Amino acid sequence: MNCLTKTLAALFPAIALLPLSGCASRLDYTLNPPVSNDWVTVTVKLPQETEALPLDVLYRSETCRKEVYDNTSESHMATVRGVNPQLVSLSQTDSSGYREAKIALNGGGKCGWKLSGIRLGIQLSKTSALANGKNIISTSYVFDFDDEGYRNAFGYGNPKNVVGNLRFETDFFPLIQSHRDGEMVITLFGGDIRDEKWKRYYRVSSISKIVIEPSIHMSKVVRVVPPNSLPGDLIATYPDGSTGILPYIYPDYEKLLSMK
Amino acid sequence: MEIVGDNTCVTSVVPKSKTVLCRGKPRKYWMELQFVDENNVPVSGLNVSLEYHPLATAAEVAASKRFGKDGYDPTPPPNPPVGVTDSQGLVRFDNLYWIGVNVKADGQQLADEMEQRPLGVRRNPNSQPESKNRSRPATRDLTWQSDVQKKADAAGQRHHYVTIGQLCDRLPVIDNWKENEPPRFHFPSGDVMKGTPIAREGLDQRHVIEVCPFRAWSLVLHDTKDYSLANGYNLGVMADMAYAKGGDTVIKQFFFEQCLDLSRTPEYIDFPSFSQALVVDVPFSQRYTAAEFLDSAGKSGGDNDRPLLDSTQLFYIENAEQVVVSWRGTQELPDWLTDASFSPQPCPAELAKAGRIHGGFLDAYHLAKRRFDAQFSAIRASLAKDGKKKLFICGHSLGGALGLTYAAEMKAIEPILYTYGMPRTFTADAVGRLYQVTHYRHVNDSDTITSVPFDANLDNWLYGKFGPLGATLGFFWALTTELPAQMGGLYIGEHYWHHGKPVVFFRTTQTGSFEECRVMMNPNTCRRLKYSQQYKVKLFLVPSMAETESEEAKEAQEAFISEFPMADIQKIFPRNTNPAFDHASNPARHSMVKEYLPFLNNQLLEIADPERKLGRKTYRADFRQQMDTFGDSSPPEELKRNRMFLALQDMVGNSLIITRKYPGGENALIRFKSVAEEEVELSN
């Protein structure tokens, strides 16, 4: 008996370490872009009281595949391309107010990582007076470099196909949305993204430069309040004081544009 | 019309043209058009116009130019005036030339009217649009005839089956339609409004034009606190769909293509399960307008967070009456590890004001909430808007736990939650605070996952036994060494409790016994031996149906209660935990696609189609027979329990009363039974 206890005690560290080693071999997530590479440069210029989040950059690999649970065989038989999400910081602001990041199309490394998607999130900065006491939700520009990209994450609907470089001067308005439990959410509103016209989700090709220089109309705030009792309507109050019932859950962007 | 002069011609070596004069007017023709919907109800007050076909095609004109001097002018005579259909849906055109026509109707008027017409029961397989998917070509059946067509044929009238796009003279306004092309099923030729052609041979006749209503499919989901088998089945299909490897593409194909294609009802194939969705038709403006799959893999965390490599997945859909949020269960290895991190965390206030929640589930939930903050905020705004939309939540396995967590956060709007094989998630104190959530928890017999974490304070126990590592290794130890046996009487502290009312798929056995004596007729050498009798049967048990409040089910319920007192029911189905099963815990019972879905499918099929011969009915008859024959040798408690089970099984049909009363519900069941098949209930 004593002997058994000792054996178990001796084995215990080994048993304890088992889960750390894992069963599947770990993927090699390091990027090592080749020197002669194609790059895409993302340049951002934002006004005061707003900030850009670090870029979400997603690489995928054909060689380093990820095992996924197969519902039918109830095993990890099926594989999909491995994913390697990265956060890339934008450079410090230069003299003319621009920040930028260079992203390699070919991530290299042992796995041969290929750029699949880039997302830039912009939002009101936490220190801005408007955002005080509210939950900040970022607004996205999403660029897919293959047919998968950020389709299942940041993208909404189907992306717009574009060839060549892109430049954006989107008009944004601070949107303060109250929820029925009193929570307030603040976001930058640039139109109903379900609408082809205002969608900021692209499937890009032959691209080397993305410039994002939006005009953010900080003083033109639109507020949306829910009904006090159900059933009722969502009501928007526009910067000029006029109000309107929302057809869906978004204010009238064209109306806002007429007030900028 | 009279022809003057000699109209005969003799071919000669040098042909010469010859002029023939016509005198009088050409004969005129008539045509009657009757517009009806699929139920042969006339479409009245519709503005109908005819357009003559050009007299020749461009190629013919060009060919004639090569021979003649000027060719000839293909411009047809001016179109006849617009007609309006009468109370019979009939419009008559007289004085027509012997030229083919295109029939068109006022696009906006037609769309508005046809939105309000319900579909006929039978679907026309020949109306499906050309398939974009080469591996699944369109299947047509040219012998198929609609009821309207049979009637028209019998009356010697010509029949046309058309969608509104084949009649519209202009594209109607479609609310919230964001695509460049109009919907494919209703507008098969895109935004080209060609009308329905009728060749000149069709003149001097009546044509019946059967117009497919401008509708879309919507899942049958009832806003009820009682158990609904329709909800159980459809949300089960949704919970399974959350596993789709294609993610976004699968969800969008189902809700934006199949739900807009009225040539058949939508189906979701996840081999070996072929799930035919139970759907009703709704006006096109109430169709699904959102269907988004969200996968946190590949998304980095919040602003100053490091990217995480594990993930949580879910999808949500939205139409005029419902928002469905379906959570994916355990898929990748990191997900399973979250099951191993047992440590119960204090509930965040937005979930419940007291009690604890499984730490791993909370992490996975927060991951999704943080990454998809914009989408969750949009769902909340949408639910607050006019308050008409009901929130349905579903999930299998870990997806059920995440679904319950989400339901806890949304409890103020009383969501309806259906889970399948979910593990325990909250401790007792928290469960008591989630009474606003209508939750039916499906348990497939001895599915192992539904009994973890154990309903004792396992964490403390493991910690005491193995130190800090105990909590980490706990799950695997528990599975392999059958901890519960060692833990008898250890129910102290905060327990994990199950939430919601159980729906149990119970594989029931009947125990027999016999006396074996070594020496014949000498009772001292005898012993009683127990064995499981031959026929086992899997029963669909909804204990809460014994306490339903629906009027229709009252009678059955009272009869049931008078035979089986509430106390007995509660003894067998204790609150907040699982009943004792006849079979040992078995992870194979956990499969959504091989166990839960086929059983739901078969139960629905049995009630929708009482006439149909099904294997499950035979098994049940055998089991009843066995109970009658060998009941004497079974323990009396078990016999009583099994009688109660069979009575409960007989009551499941009542859970479809609400569906039959729902507009279009009866038709939904008829369509379901015409396409669904009995599936294998027990995978191994």
Give domain status of residue A133, yes or no: yes
Contact B243/A71, CB-based, under 8 Å? Answer: yes
CA separation for the pair A180, A234 (Å, rounded): 11
pLDDT for the residue B453: 67
pLDDT for the residue B485: 39
Give domain status of residue A6, yes or no: no
Please choose, from the candidates B493, B426, B424, the residue with its C-alpha nearest in 3D space to the C-alpha of residue B460: B493
Q: Are B374 and B397 in contact (CB under 8 A)?
A: no
Contact B333/A24, CB-based, under 8 Å? Answer: yes
Does residue B266 have a pLDDT over 50?
A: yes
Inform me whether the C-beta atom of residue A189 falls under 8 Å from chain B C-beta atoms: no
pLDDT for the residue A9: 46
pTM listed for this prediction:
0.86
Question: How far is B193 from chain A, CA to nearest CA, in Å?
Answer: 23
**Residue range B333-350: mean pLDDT, rounded:** 64
pLDDT for the residue B516: 74
Does residue B15 have a pLDDT over 90?
A: no
Contact A137/B271, CB-based, under 8 Å? Answer: no
pLDDT for the residue B195: 94
The better pLDDT of the pair B432, A113 is held by: A113
For chain B, the average pLDDT equals: 83
CA separation for the pair B328, B594 (Å, rounded): 16
Provide the number of structural domains found in chain A: 1
Instruction: Quote the Cα angle for B284-B290-B294, to 5°.
Output: 160
The better pLDDT of the pair B271, B6 is held by: B271
Residue of B nearest to A194 (CA): B178
Does residue A25 have a pLDDT over 50?
A: no
Tokens 């009943």 belong to B579
Q: SS3 for A128?
A: coil
Q: Are B496 and B453 in contact (CB under 8 A)?
A: yes
Does residue A94 have a pLDDT over 50?
A: yes
CA separation for the pair B287, B466 (Å, rounded): 56
CA distance to A69, A117, B23, B332, B358, per residue, from A87 (Å): 27, 12, 87, 23, 29
Q: Where are the alpha helices (DSSP H) in B546-662?
A: 554-563, 566-572, 597-608, 615-630, 636-651, 657-661
Tokens 């997806």 belong to B399
Domain positions in chain B: 29-213, 218-455+498-675, 456-494
CA distance to B327, B500, B549, B550, B661, per residue, from B544 (Å): 25, 10, 10, 12, 21
Does residue A215 have a pLDDT over 80?
A: yes
Q: Which residues of B551-589 are buried (b: 16+ CB within 10 A; e: fewer)?
A: eebeebbeebeeebeeeebeebbeebbbbebbeebbeeb
Contact A231/B472, CB-based, under 8 Å? Answer: no
Report the first-to-last Cα separation within chain A, whole angstroms.
83
Give domain status of residue A20, yes or no: no
Which residues constitute the domain of residue A101? 28-67+76-257
Question: How far is B372 from chain A, CA to nearest CA, in Å?
Answer: 8
Look at A63-77, B23-37, B65-79, B412-426 and tell me which has the smallest mean pLDDT.
A63-77
Q: Which CATH architecture has domain B218-455+498-675?
A: 3-Layer(aba) Sandwich (3.40)
Look at B37-46, B62-71, B503-512 and tell me which has the smallest mean pLDDT.
B62-71
pLDDT for the residue B169: 94
In percent, how much of chain A has pLDDT > 90? 60
Find chain A residues with C-beta within 8 A of B593's C-beta: 71-72
Give domain status of residue A217, yes or no: yes
Please choose, from the candidates B612, B442, B448, the residue with its C-alpha nearest in 3D space to the C-alpha of residue B540: B442
pLDDT for the residue B565: 76
Question: How far is A56 from chain B, CA to nearest CA, in Å?
Answer: 6
Question: How far is A240 from chain B, CA to nearest CA, in Å?
Answer: 23
The better pLDDT of the pair B524, B68 is held by: B524
Highest mean pLDDT among B138-147, B360-369, B504-513, B594-603: B594-603
ipTM of the complex in this document: 0.84
Contacts of B132 by beta carbon, 8 Å cutoff, 6+ apart: none
Give domain status of residue A191, yes or no: yes
Inform me whether the C-beta atom of residue B42 falls under 8 Å from chain A C-beta atoms: no
The better pLDDT of the pair A16, B343 is held by: B343
CA separation for the pair B357, B431 (Å, rounded): 10
| Kind and range of the H or E run holding A17 | helix A2-21
Give domain status of residue A153, yes or no: yes
Please choose, from the candidates B156, B52, B39, the residue with its C-alpha nearest in 3D space to the C-alpha of residue B104: B52
CA separation for the pair A89, A42 (Å, rounded): 11
In B106-170, DSSP assigns E strands to 158-162
DSSP classification of residue B165: G
pLDDT for the residue B630: 85
**B212-228 confidence digits (pLDDT tens):** 999 999 999 999 999 99
pLDDT for the residue B29: 94
For B294-362, the DSSP string reads EE-TT---STTPPP-S---EEEEEE-SSEEEEEE----SHHHHHHHH--PEEEPPTTT-SSSEEEHHHH
